[in-house]
């Protein structure tokens, strides 16, 4: 039963009103517009760095670091200040995400150049050519079964009349910016502080894959947006009391879970696990009478599980065959490494050198130290943040679940020391940082409230987050791939050049589509995508054509391999001789030159020759065996 406010309370309110001082009008969006200009100057520096790297010019690496730090640090510093309002924070997060995305676009502004981008280019091209989904993709069969990114891109290509590359850039930009805004909104709602949300979004951007790998045209990029949207909507739904609104939020969350399920296998499984864990924690707290959110999000969890595993079983069973060896190999080598450390196995067996080893072109010492310092800071800050969250009597159930990321993240770092596990570890960081972002953001917010002077605090925290960012970039992307440069055989991005692309397009326009064709590990990406041929890969159940390309002669084994794969054409890039070490496993006591010379055989037809690249029709070799 309500009662009239006492005269004392009225007087207090009047007194408070009178004391309100109207602040001077702040500029619209605060410092965001001027920081956008600063970020643009940073991008200009990155552009100069890329330019200098292309011509092997003046200190490209130093210019690159100056550029990206000029983009990142002022935004991060501003977002940590207490007087940042929500609109300004949103504008800053938006600008920062876009500017960091443009760093990757500046690296390859004319065409895709990263390995995974060609795999998804092929699926997009298949959708456009066949007007249907699910055409077989020999480069990555799972890509055709998770066609969300490619459907959105193909729709833009069809409706807008632009190329796959340009449509892909737009879709990835939308997905990436959408993801960061959803993440900021989710963390703001979960922590009930838009400041912590903004700092959390900045912390996420320090993850090793954010600058380049997450900006690539690949299916995780869009799946992350849908998964984050699902969590955001479920969180809003769990906190609303209005039935009409709750219904809409529930429907939207289910749609987002469904979109994730058809976008990317691991992201969908991770989302289901997160929602399941969240439901479990809410349920447990509710039973003890400690949950304020009485709606356990079980329905969303169950529907997410149903769509995720239903899609895998019905549409994408190939995902299991694809993931099992990758994860199994990583875990196996990780365990062997631990056994080695404990003295139960051979020490050093199957270990991988970090930062490209000590060979010329490896990361300089200061970068290596930054990477270690960054990892250490992430670990310490997340542990401290976790402790701060657990000190609360009623931690938010979602935050409580995310705390699992704190012990799990260092465990994945061990996998970086193994040849098969490093990729799994590297890719998992984009998931774990979503969990670590809040604990670290809480620690940063707490540090900013400590007793030392405000300037000193901001400088200290800025330096710490700067080290995390530098460490992330160094750990995530090798120094030679960070900047463009002269041709470097035989992997993306530096191995993709005009001559290889022209050969692939020649195959597209002059050979029957979907001919069975083999090539080295880089060129097979190009002939499978731009060339629209059935590139031979073991991943799609075919043969490994390198056993034939690097064989000494067309002996019985080579002919049998060609026959098994029903291979009609082989593309031979003579530049592989410059990176013979990469093909040691295929070579015996003969050289790459000897292996390539065998193609001057009267039974082969050399139908294309551009100097470095030759395409041979080899069907008569094995058909007449």
Partner 1 sequence: MTRRLPPFPRWRRPTVPPSRAAPIGAFVAALIVLVLPVPVALRAIAALVVGLLVGDAVGRAIVPTRMGVGGRLALSLSIALALPVAVALVLTVSPFGIGRPQLIAAAALVGVLASAVMVRRGTPIGPTFTPLRAPRRLARPAILYLAAVLLVGVAFALRLSATAPGEGLYSSLSISPGSAGDGQVAVEVINHERTTVLYRLELELDGRLIGSTMSALPDGGHWDYRPDTAVAAGQRVEVRLFRSPDLTKLYRDVNATVGVDW
- Residue 573 is encoded by which pair of tokens? 């890039």
Q: Which residues pair with 381 in a beta bridge?
A: none
Asked whether position 480 contacts partner 1 by CB under 8 A, the answer is: no
Asked whether position 568 contacts partner 1 by CB under 8 A, the answer is: no
Asked whether position 445 contacts partner 1 by CB under 8 A, the answer is: no
- Return the range that interacts with partner 1 (CB under 8 A); candidates 219-227, 354-362, 375-383, 527-535: 219-227
Binding to partner 1 by CB under 8 A, coded x per residue (else -) over 79-118, reads -------xx--x-----------x---x--xx--------
DSSP-assigned states of every residue in 384-420: HHHHHHHHSSS--HHHHHHTTHHHHHHHHHHHTTSTT
- Return the range that interacts with partner 1 (CB under 8 A); candidates 36-44, 429-437, 530-538, 575-583: 36-44
- Return the range that interacts with partner 1 (CB under 8 A); candidates 128-136, 384-392, 398-406, 591-599: 128-136
Query: What is the rounded distance in angstroms from the CA atom of residue 567 to the CA atom of residue 196?
Result: 57
Query: What is the rounded distance in angstroms from the CA atom of residue 467 to the CA atom of residue 473?
Result: 10
Shortest Å, Cβ 588 to partner 1: 28
Query: What is the rounded distance in angstroms from the CA atom of residue 484 to the CA atom of residue 11?
Result: 69
Shortest Å, Cβ 337 to partner 1: 39
Query: What is the rounded distance in angstroms from the CA atom of residue 401 to the CA atom of residue 382?
Result: 14
Q: Of 163-202, which residues contact partner 1 (CB under 8 A)?
A: 166, 170-171, 174-175, 177-178, 181-182, 184-185, 188
Shortest Å, Cβ 505 to partner 1: 10
Query: What is the rounded distance in angstroms from the CA atom of residue 262 to the CA atom of residue 473?
Result: 30
Shortest Å, Cβ 579 to partner 1: 17
CB 562 within 8 A of CB 548: yes
CB 231 within 8 A of CB 277: no
Residue with tokens 């200061």: 366
Query: What is the rounded distance in angstroms from the CA atom of residue 395 to the CA atom of residue 483?
Result: 44
Single out the residue of 83, 158, 555, 557 in contact with partner 1 (rule: CB under 8 A).
Answer: 158
Asked whether position 506 contacts partner 1 by CB under 8 A, the answer is: yes
CA-based nearest residue to 466, from 65, 164, 11: 65
Report the residue number, 370 or 523, with the smaller CB distance to partner 1.
523
| Alpha carbon 141 to chain centroid, angstroms | 19
Report the residue number, 232 or 583, with the smaller CB distance to partner 1.
232
Helices (H), 448-497: 454-476, 479-482
Residue with tokens 């769509």: 307
Report the residue number, 19 or 244, with the smaller CB distance to partner 1.
244
Binding to partner 1 by CB under 8 A, coded x per residue (else -) over 263-282, reads x-------------------
Single out the residue of 1, 159, 451, 556 in contact with partner 1 (rule: CB under 8 A).
Answer: 159
Report the residue number, 220 or 367, with the smaller CB distance to partner 1.
220
Shortest Å, Cβ 510 to partner 1: 5
Asked whether position 262 contacts partner 1 by CB under 8 A, the answer is: yes
CA-based nearest residue to 176, from 223, 143, 131, 129: 223
- Residue 399 is encoded by which pair of tokens? 């935050």
CB 525 within 8 A of CB 115: yes
- Return the range that interacts with partner 1 (CB under 8 A); candidates 233-241, 452-460, 529-537, 574-582: 233-241
Asked whether position 492 contacts partner 1 by CB under 8 A, the answer is: no
Asked whether position 161 contacts partner 1 by CB under 8 A, the answer is: yes
Shortest Å, Cβ 185 to partner 1: 5
- Return the range that interacts with partner 1 (CB under 8 A); candidates 23-31, 76-84, 355-363, 369-377: 23-31
Report the residue number, 29 or 492, with the smaller CB distance to partner 1.
29
Report the residue number, 226 or 409, with the smaller CB distance to partner 1.
226
Asked whether position 327 contacts partner 1 by CB under 8 A, the answer is: no
Q: Is 468 left (phi over 0), alpha (psi -120 to 50) or beta?
A: alpha
Specify the pairing of strand 516-518 against strand 613-617.
Answer: unpaired
Q: How many CB atoms lie within 10 A of CB 476?
A: 21
Asked whether position 248 contacts partner 1 by CB under 8 A, the answer is: yes
Report the residue number, 102 or 383, with the smaller CB distance to partner 1.
102
Shortest Å, Cβ 90 to partner 1: 5
Q: Of 46-85, which residues contact partner 1 (CB under 8 A)?
A: 46-48, 50-51, 54-55
Q: Which residues pair with 569 in a beta bridge?
A: 517, 617
Shortest Å, Cβ 200 to partner 1: 13
Single out the residue of 65, 204, 219, 232 in contact with partner 1 (rule: CB under 8 A).
Answer: 232
Shortest Å, Cβ 380 to partner 1: 30
Report the residue number, 460 or 502, with the smaller CB distance to partner 1.
502
Query: What is the rounded distance in angstroms from the CA atom of residue 229 to the CA atom of residue 102?
Result: 23
| Alpha carbon 111 to chain centroid, angstroms | 19
Q: Is the bond preceding residue 534 a cis peptide, omega within 30 degrees?
A: no
Query: What is the rounded distance in angstroms from the CA atom of residue 143 to the CA atom of residue 134?
Result: 9
CB 528 within 8 A of CB 122: yes
- Return the range that interacts with partner 1 (CB under 8 A); candidates 14-22, 158-166, 422-430, 514-522: 158-166
Query: What is the rounded distance in angstroms from the CA atom of residue 374 to the CA atom of residue 468?
Result: 4
Q: Is 597 left (phi over 0), alpha (psi -120 to 50) or beta?
A: alpha
Shortest Å, Cβ 146 to partner 1: 10
Q: Of 131-150, which residues contact partner 1 (CB under 8 A)?
A: 131-134, 147-148
Shortest Å, Cβ 151 to partner 1: 4
Query: Residue 225: how many CA atoms within 13 Å on its side-chain side?
Result: 20
CB 363 within 8 A of CB 355: yes
Single out the residue of 12, 14, 27, 59 in contact with partner 1 (rule: CB under 8 A).
Answer: 27
């Amino acid at each position: 039963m309500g009662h009239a406010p006492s005269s004392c309370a009225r007087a207090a309110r009047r007194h408070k009103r009178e004391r309100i001082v109207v602040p001077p009008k702040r500029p619209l969006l605060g410092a965001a517009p001027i920081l956008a200009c600063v970020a643009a100057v940073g991008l200009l520096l990155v552009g100069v760095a890329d330019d200098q790297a292309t011509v092997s010019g003046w200190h490209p690496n130093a210019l690159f670091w100056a550029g990206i730090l000029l983009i990142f640090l002022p935004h991060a510093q501003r977002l940590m200040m207490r007087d940042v309002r929500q609109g300004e924070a949103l504008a800053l997060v938006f600008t920062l995400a876009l500017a960091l995305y443009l760093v990757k676009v500046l690296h390859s502004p004319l065409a895709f150049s990263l390995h995974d981008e060609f795999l998804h280019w092929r699926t997009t091209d298949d959708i456009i050519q066949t007007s249907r989904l699910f055409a077989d993709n020999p480069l990555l069969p799972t890509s055709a079964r998770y066609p969300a990114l490619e459907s959105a891109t193909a729709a833009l290509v069809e409706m807008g009349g632009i190329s796959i590359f340009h449509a892909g850039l737009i879709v990835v930009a939308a997905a990436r910016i959408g993801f960061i805004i959803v993440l900021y909104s989710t963390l703001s709602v979960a922590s009930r502080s838009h400041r912590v949300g903004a700092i959390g979004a900045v912390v996420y951007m320090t993850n090793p894959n954010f600058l380049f790998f997450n900006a690539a045209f690949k299916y995780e990029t869009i799946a992350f947006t849908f998964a984050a949207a699902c969590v955001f909507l479920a969180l809003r739904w769990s906190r609303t009391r209005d039935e009409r609104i709750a219904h809409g939020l529930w429907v939207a969350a289910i749609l987002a879970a469904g979109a994730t399920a058809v976008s990317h296998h691991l992201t969908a499984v991770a989302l289901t696990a997160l929602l399941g864990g969240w439901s479990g924690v809410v349920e447990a707290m509710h039973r003890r009478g400690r949950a304020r959110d009485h709606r356990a999000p079980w329905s969303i969890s169950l529907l997410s599980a149903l769509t995720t595993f239903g899609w895998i079983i019905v549409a994408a069973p190939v995902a299991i065959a694809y993931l099992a060896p990758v994860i199994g190999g990583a875990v196996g080598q990780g365990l062997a490494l631990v056994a080695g450390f404990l003295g139960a196995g051979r020490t050093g067996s199957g270990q991988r050198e970090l930062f490209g080893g000590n060979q010329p072109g490896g990361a300089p010492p200061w970068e290596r130290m930054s990477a270690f310092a960054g990892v250490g800071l992430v670990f310490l800050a997340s542990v401290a943040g976790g402790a701060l969250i657990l000190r609360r009597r009623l931690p938010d159930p979602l935050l409580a679940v995310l705390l699992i990321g704190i012990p799990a993240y260092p465990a994945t770092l061990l996998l970086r020391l193994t040849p098969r596990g490093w990729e799994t570890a590297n890719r998992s960081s984009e998931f774990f940082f979503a969990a670590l972002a809040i604990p670290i953001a809480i620690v940063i917010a707490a540090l900013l409230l400590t007793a030392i002077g405000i300037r000193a605090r901001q400088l200290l925290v800025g330096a710490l987050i700067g080290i995390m960012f530098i460490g992330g970039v160094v750990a995530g992307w090798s120094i030679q791939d960070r900047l463009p440069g002269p041709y470097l055989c035989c992997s993306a991005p530096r191995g993709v050049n005009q001559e290889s692309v022209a050969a692939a397009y020649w195959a597209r326009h002059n050979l029957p589509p979907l001919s069975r064709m083999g090539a080295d590990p880089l060129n097979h990406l190009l002939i499978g995508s731009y060339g629209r041929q059935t590139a031979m890969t073991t991943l799609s159940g075919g043969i490994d054509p390198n056993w034939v390309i690097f064989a000494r002669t067309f002996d019985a084994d080579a002919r049998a391999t060609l026959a098994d794969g029903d291979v009609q054409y082989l593309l031979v890039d003579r530049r592989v001789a410059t990176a013979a070490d990469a093909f040691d496993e295929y070579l015996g006591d003969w050289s790459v030159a000897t292996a390539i010379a065998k193609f001057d055989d009267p039974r082969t037809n050399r139908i294309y020759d551009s100097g470095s690249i030759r395409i041979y029709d080899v069907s008569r070799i094995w058909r007449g065996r």
